């Protein structure tokens, strides 16, 4: 019986002109958005690879110079493009793409793509993910709002139930039929999209298949929730018109209002410092240390005394190595502690904010979906932090090697020392290790759990509503 | 008038309508309160910059009162070009959370990519966008209008009361118009009041901007009421009127703008920042290697700057190198500016595809947080960099110290606002375009809403 009801509902859905128009538009939007995003992703990847190659040449051909000066000359590293970003661009347009690595300083990634854009950017971007997050629920609502309320209004509900069909079978069959209609539209597009991924350069993505499966699960749970809720409302509402009004209000609240409202509220409760405050505090700590006891000069003086004592000499000129290089190594170590503390605190705070916004997924499943989707697509803050941290590690190692060279190879007190291409070549290019898929799944875990919770709750609501199905028009 | 009063009375009796109007008032109040935070932050930053600039200026003045300064020394001090806070930040935060509020300009770093530091902000917040007044006016205001006015005659048609009304000899278009305006009036009035309130804490005289903003909001509201009328010309039931109105909203506010955004960025892709950075460094490397050779050719181009005795020092060499780098990367930089200009002019051309775009553009323009004012700042900073070079370079090359006679000529940055006529012209075009759209929609609606058509189709 359930299968027969489902089949009828499936056929009806595809016969409905509104759904057909909606489905065609949806398919068109998803396909054009994905193709345009694909082109953009490929271009960005080529550009960044070319720039990285050019930057490597610049580094190798910088000529002979003091190895510490080479540290100041520095090197730019570019953030690799996440191929799954063509599905969900996440925060990518709003984080820097280029990071300058130099001696003494940890920089933030600069050149935010959104800065090079018109204010149209603020309307958001049409990607496959925004289509599925904002528009697909509307299609579901359009499909489902009248499925029971409409029958009740027309009087056919009474007829069907008088035939002895159990209300639960009817509701379940209808839900399955509508779900199948939706799946018959979205699954082929999803499969085509997955095929598109396989054509991309996916060297620095770990577990592409797992990520894609996770995305399918997240969106499936989300749209399943919307469908179950829509049918529930249709079963309980007094008229199709009221069901539609309620569903559209819920949609606007959850998808349009909630993201901004929740984000702004969370940021008021857990504020981030301004750039000026952040730099002021960091510079203070660079000068006087994290404990704030001794100024930098005093600590370096103590370090010099300690070094002299260790080697049993009275003057730095008598040390078996270049003292300048030795001090540079120590001051980098000291600064590194300060950077770790300040950047660590800032980034922890940002992740805390993101977690709080995800938790608000209890109120709007869209927030849970967004966070899970970005984490799996590799375009959330955790992935960006992974890049920033790896680049900083690279910077420290690179500056350390240069300072070590100065310490070992420059004669004490020799200011004319220069190193050359051999040393430049010994420093490897920056390669970003892939973000492990397990960690991505872990990041997406909270969102996925909330989505699963929503789905179960919506199914329970549906079950309950089916039990209370009323025949008469109120 | 009688019709209008009666319609308003009906609306006042509707508890759902009251709830909607109250909710809208609450949303507007929250948006104004929420937007104040960004405005305050900007004002504080601007004040801090102003103070430090003034302190530096005073210091220079005092030293110059006593002795001359080597231009090499003074030129090392970065100057701050500060962006005056927007005139109406509460109206629309626009690009304000992205565009830097100031830029450091320093002679020996003129060719460095402009201030690479970015204000600290959680990127997901930038992605979500702010809950500011422009968000409420562009996104939510039409939803509230449609919720109150989507059922102008469709419901009556469904229940059969339409024929009774028509039988009384009321012209249907008049009836619909009065009904739409009466039902939309409370929400329209609230939107206009909130727009006016956004000028409450503004520093400068913003009366004209507020008046224009009200006109923009009013035209946008009228557009959505016209859409409601159009929908009612076609829909046979209240439910289908509601879904058609909803579909119009989704298309105009969600789909067209995001799609246009993707299209604009695909047709006019920005050149690669990565490439700009790498090629600037390549040019710098080349220049450094060519060192003295470069300097002699440089003085061939700038004989007026040739130092007495031709003994160039490190700083002079640095300047010559910088000149060379500038020459190498200027074309790339120009491509950035050109693409952004093309993107913006494409937006200008196509903004009437969706009045939501036109309204958002106009509101950010009026708030001073949109493309135009930000672009003006960029252009003025570029000109300022040129002034800094023109001031210091000849003095450094000619080994001429800076004395107190130079005080008045020392480069200082003040942001010059656009002339009022410029933004007024753009906003007027936007309002006129939107009113044109209103007329167009109404014309189509009118053809459907004649007594004859309605009588036949409701039968």
Q: Quick count: other Cβ atoms within 10 Å of Cβ A338?
A: 20
Contacts of B127 in chain A (CB under 8 A): 90-91, 93-94
DSSP state of B78: P
Q: How, if at all, do strands B102-105 and B79-82 pair? A: antiparallel
A457 alpha carbon, distance to own chain's centre: 27
At residue B301, the pLDDT reads 63
Lowest-confidence segment of A292-296, B184-188, B289-293, B350-354 by average pLDDT: B289-293
The C-alpha of A381 sits at a distance from chain B's nearest C-alpha, in angstroms, of: 8
Among the partner-chain residues A44, A55, A63, the one whose CB lies closest to the CB of B281 is A55
Residue A102 φ then ψ, to 5°:
-145, 170
Rounded to an integer, the average pLDDT of B40-65 is 87
- Chain A nearest-CA residue for B259: A126
The C-alpha of A92 sits at a distance from chain B's nearest C-alpha, in angstroms, of: 8
> Which of B446, B357, B441 lies closest to B172 in space, CA to CA?
B446
A261 alpha carbon, distance to own chain's centre: 20
Among the partner-chain residues B120, B122, B278, the one whose CB lies closest to the CB of A278 is B120
DSSP state of B138: I
Rounded to an integer, the average pLDDT of B19-41 is 90
Contacts of A147 in chain B (CB under 8 A): none
The parts of chain A modelled with pLDDT lower than 70 are 201-203, 413, 470-474
Which two tokens mark A287? 């000068």
Domain count, chain B: 1
At residue A184, the pLDDT reads 93
pLDDT at B411 > cutoff 70: yes
At residue A474, the pLDDT reads 45
Rounded to an integer, the average pLDDT of B290-298 is 64
C-beta of residue A160 within 8 angstroms of C-beta of residue A9: no
At residue B117, the pLDDT reads 64
> Which of A103, A99, A90 lies closest to A51 in space, CA to CA?
A99
- Chain B nearest-CA residue for A349: B122
> Which of B164, B135, B130, B128 lies closest to B42 in space, CA to CA?
B130
Residue A435 φ then ψ, to 5°:
-70, 120
pLDDT at B261 > cutoff 60: yes
A166 alpha carbon, distance to own chain's centre: 45
Contacts of residue A144, Cβ cutoff 8 Å, sequence gap at least 6: A178, A227, A230, A231, A234
Among the partner-chain residues B246, B273, B289, the one whose CB lies closest to the CB of A97 is B273
C-beta of residue B138 within 8 angstroms of C-beta of residue B361: no
Query: Given phi > 0 = left and psi -120 to 50 = alpha, else beta, which region is A413?
Result: left
Size of interface A-B (CB pairs under 8 A): 225
Contacts of A62 in chain B (CB under 8 A): 285
The C-alpha of A264 sits at a distance from chain B's nearest C-alpha, in angstroms, of: 7
The C-alpha of B285 sits at a distance from chain A's nearest C-alpha, in angstroms, of: 6
Contacts of A97 in chain B (CB under 8 A): 273-274
Contacts of B343 in chain A (CB under 8 A): 117-118, 120
Contacts of A95 in chain B (CB under 8 A): 123
Contacts of B371 in chain A (CB under 8 A): 118-119
Contacts of A27 in chain B (CB under 8 A): none
C-beta of residue A67 within 8 angstroms of C-beta of residue A59: no
Q: What percent of chain A has pLDDT over 70?
A: 98
Q: Quick count: other Cβ atoms within 10 Å of Cβ A305?
A: 10
| Interchain proximity B277–A272, CB inside 8 Å | no
CA distance A391 to A385: 10
Among the partner-chain residues A36, A380, A384, the one whose CB lies closest to the CB of B266 is A36
Instruction: Say what the alpha-carbon torsion angle B395, B400, B403, B406 is, to the nearest 10 degrees.
Output: -30
- Chain A nearest-CA residue for B118: A110
User: What is the SS3 assignment for B99?
Assistant: coil
Residue A427 φ then ψ, to 5°:
-90, 120
- Chain A nearest-CA residue for B347: A120
| Interchain proximity A353–B122, CB inside 8 Å | yes
The C-alpha of B327 sits at a distance from chain A's nearest C-alpha, in angstroms, of: 18
| Interchain proximity A91–B124, CB inside 8 Å | yes
Q: How, if at all, do strands B79-82 and A98-101 pair? A: unpaired
Domain locations in chain A as residue ranges: 2-467
CA distance B413 to B104: 11
> Which of A400, A397, A418, A421 lies closest to A409 in space, CA to CA?
A418
Name the one residue in this structure whose structure tokens are 């559209």: A248
Which two tokens mark B74? 């003074």
- Best probe of the A interface among B24, B114, B125, by most A CBs < 10 A, is B125
Q: How many residues does chain B have?
A: 459
Among the partner-chain residues A78, A95, A241, the one whose CB lies closest to the CB of B274 is A78
The C-alpha of B203 sits at a distance from chain A's nearest C-alpha, in angstroms, of: 23
C-beta of residue B128 within 8 angstroms of C-beta of residue A260: yes
The C-alpha of A102 sits at a distance from chain B's nearest C-alpha, in angstroms, of: 14
> Which of A221, A242, A24, A226 lies closest to A144 in space, CA to CA?
A226
C-beta of residue A374 within 8 angstroms of C-beta of residue A357: no
Among the partner-chain residues B94, B131, B237, the one whose CB lies closest to the CB of A260 is B131
CA distance A388 to A391: 5
| Interchain proximity B282–A57, CB inside 8 Å | yes
Which two tokens mark A75? 């090197």
| Interchain proximity A55–B266, CB inside 8 Å | no
The C-alpha of A109 sits at a distance from chain B's nearest C-alpha, in angstroms, of: 8
Q: How, if at all, do strands A75-78 and A98-101 pair? A: antiparallel
CA distance A26 to A54: 42
CA distance A63 to A58: 9
Range of the domain at B77: 2-458
- Chain B nearest-CA residue for A28: B259
Confidence of residue B459 (pLDDT cuts 50, 70, 90): very low
| Interchain proximity A51–B274, CB inside 8 Å | yes
**Comparison of pLDDT for B112 and A30, the residue scoring more:** A30
Contacts of B360 in chain A (CB under 8 A): 119, 122-123
Confidence of residue B397 (pLDDT cuts 50, 70, 90): confident
CA distance B116 to A96: 9
Among the partner-chain residues B123, B262, B265, the one whose CB lies closest to the CB of A94 is B123
| Interchain proximity A43–B361, CB inside 8 Å | no
Q: Name A100's bridge partners.
A: A76
Q: Quick count: other Cβ atoms within 10 Å of Cβ A174?
A: 26
CA distance A312 to A306: 10
| Interchain proximity A63–B126, CB inside 8 Å | no
Contacts of B262 in chain A (CB under 8 A): 32-33, 36-37, 125-127
Entry pTM: 0.90
C-beta of residue A129 within 8 angstroms of C-beta of residue A373: yes
At residue A471, the pLDDT reads 65
Q: Quick count: other Cβ atoms within 10 Å of Cβ A222?
A: 26
Confidence of residue B311 (pLDDT cuts 50, 70, 90): low
Contacts of B82 in chain A (CB under 8 A): none
With b meaning 16 or more CB within 10 Å and e meaning fewer, what string describes B393-406? bebbbeeeebeeeb
pLDDT at B308 > cutoff 80: no
CA distance B80 to B72: 18
Among the partner-chain residues A98, A350, A381, the one whose CB lies closest to the CB of B277 is A98
Contacts of B125 in chain A (CB under 8 A): 263-264, 267, 353
**Comparison of pLDDT for B144 and B37, the residue scoring more:** B144
C-beta of residue B327 within 8 angstroms of C-beta of residue B294: no
Confidence of residue B221 (pLDDT cuts 50, 70, 90): very high
Contacts of A135 in chain B (CB under 8 A): 250, 254-255
Contacts of A259 in chain B (CB under 8 A): 128-129
Name the one residue in this structure whose structure tokens are 């009556």: B156
CA distance A387 to A433: 9
> Which of B186, B23, B370 lies closest to A261 in space, CA to CA?
B23
Q: Sign of the CA dihedral A202, A205, A206, A212? A: negative
Which two tokens mark A296? 């930098």
Residue A50 φ then ψ, to 5°:
-65, -45
Q: Name A75's bridge partners.
A: A101
- Best probe of the B interface among A24, A108, A117, A123, by most B CBs < 10 A, is A123
DSSP state of A105: B
Contacts of B237 in chain A (CB under 8 A): 241
At residue A398, the pLDDT reads 92
């Amino acid at each position: 019986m359930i299968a027969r009801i489902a089949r009828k509902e499936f056929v009806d859905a595809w016969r409905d002109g509104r759904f057909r128009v909606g489905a065609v538009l949806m398919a068109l939007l998803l396909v054009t958005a994905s193709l345009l995003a694909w082109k953009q992703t490929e271009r960005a990847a080529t550009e960044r690879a070319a720039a990285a190659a050019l930057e490597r040449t610049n580094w190798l051909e910088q000529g002979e110079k003091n190895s510490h000066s080479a540290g100041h000359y520095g090197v730019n590293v570019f953030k690799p493009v996440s191929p799954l970003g063509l599905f969900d661009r996440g925060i990518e347009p709003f984080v820097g793409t280029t990071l300058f690595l130099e001696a003494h300083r940890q920089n933030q990634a600069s050149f935010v793509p959104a800065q090079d854009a018109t204010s149209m950017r603020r309307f958001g971007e049409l990607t496959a993910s925004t289509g599925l997050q904002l528009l697909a629920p509307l299609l579901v609502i359009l499909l489902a709002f009248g499925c029971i309320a409409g029958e009740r209004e027309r009087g056919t509900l009474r007829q069907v139930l008088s035939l002895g069909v159990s209300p639960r079978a009817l509701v379940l069959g209808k839900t399955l039929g509508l779900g199948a209609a939706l799946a018959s539209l979205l699954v082929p597009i999803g499969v085509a999209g997955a095929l598109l991924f396989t054509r991309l350069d996916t060297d620095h993505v770990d577990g592409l298949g797992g990520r894609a499966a996770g995305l399918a699960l997240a969106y499936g749970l989300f749209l399943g929730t919307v469908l179950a809720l829509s049918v529930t409302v249709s079963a309980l509402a007094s008229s199709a018109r009221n069901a539609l009004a309620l569903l559209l209000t819920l949609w606007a609240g959850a998808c349009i209002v909630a993201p901004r409202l929740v984000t702004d509220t969370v940021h008021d409760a857990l504020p981030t410092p301004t750039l000026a405050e952040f730099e002021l505090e960091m510079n203070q700590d660079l000068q006087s240390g994290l404990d704030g006891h001794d100024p930098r000069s005093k600590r370096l003086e103590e370090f010099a005394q300690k070094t002299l004592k260790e080697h049993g000499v009275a003057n730095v000129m008598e040390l078996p190595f270049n003292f300048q290089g030795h001090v540079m190594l120590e001051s980098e170590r000291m600064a590194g502690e300060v950077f770790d503390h300040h950047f660590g605190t800032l980034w922890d705070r940002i992740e805390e904010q993101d977690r709080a916004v995800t938790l608000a997924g209890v109120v709007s499943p869209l927030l849970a979906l967004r966070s899970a989707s970005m984490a799996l697509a590799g375009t959330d803050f955790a992935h960006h932090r992974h890049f920033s941290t790896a680049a900083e590690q690279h910077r420290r190692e690179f500056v350390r090697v240069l300072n070590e060279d100065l310490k070992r190879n420059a004669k004490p007190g020799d200011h004319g020392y220069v190193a050359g291409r051999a040393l430049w070549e010994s420093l490897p290019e920056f390669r970003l290790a892939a973000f492990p898929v397990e960690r991505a799944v872990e990041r997406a875990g909270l969102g996925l759990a909330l989505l699963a919770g929503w789905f179960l709750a919506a199914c329970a609501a549906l079950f309950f509503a089916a039990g209370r199905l009323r025949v008469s028009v109120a | 008038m009688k019709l209008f009063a009666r319609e308003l009375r009906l609306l006042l009796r509707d508890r759902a309508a009251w709830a909607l109007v109250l909710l809208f008032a609450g949303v507007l109040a929250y948006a104004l309160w929420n937007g104040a935070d960004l405005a305050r932050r900007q004002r504080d930053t601007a004040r801090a910059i102003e103070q430090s600039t003034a302190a530096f200026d005073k210091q220079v003045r005092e030293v110059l009162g006593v002795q001359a300064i080597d231009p090499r020394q003074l030129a090392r001090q970065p100057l701050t070009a500060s962006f005056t806070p927007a005139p109406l930040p509460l109206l629309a935060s626009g690009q304000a959370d992205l565009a830097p509020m100031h830029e450091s300009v320093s002679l020996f770093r003129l060719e460095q990519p402009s201030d690479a530091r970015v204000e600290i902000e959680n990127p997901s917040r930038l992605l979500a966008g702010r809950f500011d007044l422009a968000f409420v006016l562009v996104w939510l205001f039409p939803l509230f209008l449609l919720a109150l006015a989507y059922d102008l005659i469709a419901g009556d048609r469904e229940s059969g009361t339409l024929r009774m009304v028509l039988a009384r000899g009321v012209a249907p278009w008049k009836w619909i118009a009065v009904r739409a305006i009466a039902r939309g009036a409370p929400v329209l009035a609230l939107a206009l009041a909130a727009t006016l309130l956004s000028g409450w804490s503004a520093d400068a005289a913003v009366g004209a901007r507020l008046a224009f903003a009200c006109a923009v909001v009013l035209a946008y509201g009228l557009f959505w009421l016209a859409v409601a009328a159009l929908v009612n010309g076609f829909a046979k039931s209240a439910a289908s009127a509601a879904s058609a109105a909803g579909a119009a909203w989704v298309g105009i506010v969600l789909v067209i703008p995001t799609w246009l955004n993707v299209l604009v960025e695909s047709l006019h892709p920005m050149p690669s920042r990565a490439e700009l950075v790498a090629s600037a460094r390549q040019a710098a490397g080349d220049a450094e290697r060519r060192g003295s050779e470069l300097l002699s050719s440089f003085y061939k181009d700038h004989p007026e700057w040739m130092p007495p005795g031709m003994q160039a020092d490190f700083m002079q060499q640095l300047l010559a190198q910088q000149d060379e780098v500038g020459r190498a990367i200027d074309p790339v930089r120009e491509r950035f500016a050109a693409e952004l200009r093309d993107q913006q002019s494409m937006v200008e051309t196509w903004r009437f595809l969706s009045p939501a775009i036109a309204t958002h553009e106009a509101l950010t323009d009026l708030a001073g947080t949109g493309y135009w004012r930000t672009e003006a700042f960029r252009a003025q900073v570029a000109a300022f960099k040129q002034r800094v070079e023109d001031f210091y370079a000849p003095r450094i090359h000619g080994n001429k110290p800076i004395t107190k006679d130079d005080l008045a000529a020392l480069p200082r940055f003040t942001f010059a606002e656009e002339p009022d006529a410029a933004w007024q012209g753009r906003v007027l075009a936007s309002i006129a375009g939107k009113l044109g759209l209103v007329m167009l929609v109404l014309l189509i609606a009118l053809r459907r809403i004649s007594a004859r058509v309605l009588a036949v189709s409701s039968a």
